[in-house]
Amino acid sequence: MPEATFEEKLAGYSLRRDPFGPDYEVPMAGRKAEWREIQERVDQAMYRRGNDIVVILGDYGMGKTYTLWQMHEHYKNVHELWVTKPIPLLSSESTSRFAADLIGRTLRQGIGYGQAIDLIRQADDSWQESVDNPAVLDLLRNLASEEPATRDKAIDRLARNRDNLIAQEILFALQFVLAAAGRRAFLWLVDEFEYIMILTSTKVSQLVNTLRDIYDHQPEVELRYGPERSAKIILTLASSPAGWELLQKLTRDVVRKTGGAGVVPFAQRIPGANIITLAPLNRDGCHDLIAWRLAKNRTGDIPGEPLIPYDEGFVDLVLEVAQGVPRRILAYATVVLLGALEQGLPRITVDAARSILDKEGFLNKA
């Protein structure tokens, strides 16, 4: 008899494929407290005046990107908000064009030109009175044009923009458009903030100044045009704790050098409650993380036995070895699964799982 294929072996565990690869479209395991806090923060921000920043901190693999995608899924159905898909803070483009790059990618990938066009078409014309940059006004009008050639030219201009100031003006103009289309807030999801760690401190300052300019813009807009003419921004930044700490440190340095004069750096104005830390998963979270991934990739239902081919005890083992970090839990579950398939084990006892992890070098005791 020919050797069973990988799929045939997996079918022995009632699985269709490796269940533990990257997947952001699965229900949230654990994290009830964190998710509640995130919703509280966003809900409150929606009704508070002035822009807001929400920070999601978590070590590598703790679920930051996943959480941002869950926010997108959740808030895309809330009409008062206009939510982006998560985009990374930096791209390979030059970071001295930070604003142009970030806002450009937000429109292209975070929102999509099609959605931006829909929004401008939904809005009443009131926004046009508030945009004083004629080039930006034309650009947005042309973007919504029924004439395909005009529209394409506007998209092309938008895509080619490398000018930081124009990019900011476009963002501000869109905030007017949003309000004119009945939206209260723009929920802007930005991932991988910790990449500031690879920048020189000059570049980090430029970047932070840009964020601060955007953040501080709203009060001025209210003064000039009255309240509720422009949708506020709720900027959500996901970062590793180390990346965020670096920002705090640079902020402290600036304050020291300037004697605290001038504008207080914006990072210091973010209330502690707006900083939400993703903790390691607890046992229930770890159990659900594994069980729900298995369920999604089953060949058929196995009522009452959500962990097959693993034992209940595997949850405790993997939780400890992976220290509650979701990506590591998933990685170890894969290692054990592949090892068990190779050995042709019908079920994976805790001892078998431990011995596979040991053999693969994951149980290095200090």
Ligand X SMILES: Nc1ncnc2c1ncn2[C@@H]1O[C@H](COP(=O)(O)OP(=O)(O)OP(=O)(O)O)[C@@H](O)[C@H]1O
| Beta carbon nearer to ligand X, 133 or 277 | 277
Instruction: Quote the CA–CA distance of 68 and 293 in Å, as a whole number.
Output: 19
In the bound complex, what is the minimum distance in angstroms from residue 64's beta carbon to ligand X? 4
CB of 247 closer than 8 Å to CB of 196: yes
Which residue lies nearer to ligand X by CB, 57 or 357? 57
CB 235 within 8 A of CB 211: yes
Question: Measured from the CB atom, is 19 or 104 closer to ligand X?
Answer: 19
- DSSP secondary structure, 194-227, as one string: GGGGGS-HHHHHHHHHHHHHHHHHHHHHHHHH-T
- Binding pattern to Mg ion, positions 51-90, x when CB under 5 A? -------------xx-------------------------
CB 154 within 8 A of CB 198: no
Q: Which residues between 152 and 191 bind ligand X (CB under 6 A)?
A: none
Q: Is 66 in the site for ligand X (CB under 6 A)?
A: yes
Q: Scanning the structure block, which residue is given the tokens 């005009």? A: 150
Structure tokens at 32: 């009830």
Residue 267 or residue 330: which is nearer to ligand X going by CB? 330
- Of 133, 131, 79, 83, nearest to 106 (Cα)? 83
CA distance 37 to 56: 10
Interacting span for ligand X (CB under 6 A) from 43-51, 59-67, 122-130, 242-250: 59-67
| Closest CB to ligand X among residues 62, 357 | 62
Q: How many residues of this chain interact with Mg ion, rule: CB under 5 A?
A: 2
Nearest position to ligand X, beta carbon: 63
What does the alpha-carbon distance between residue 250 and residue 4 come to, in Å, rounded to a whole number? 58
Stretch that binds ligand X, among 64-72, 104-112, 224-232, 357-365 (CB under 6 A): 64-72
Residue 157: exposure state from Cβ atoms within 10 A (0-12, 13-18, ≥19): middle
Among 10, 13, 15, 31, binds ligand X (CB under 6 A): 31
- Which residue in 41, 57, 58, 176 binds ligand X (CB under 6 A)? 58
Catalog residues that contact ligand X under the rule CB under 6 A. Answer: 22-24, 26, 28-31, 58, 60-66, 289, 326-327, 330
Footprint on this chain of Mg ion (rule: CB under 5 A): 64-65
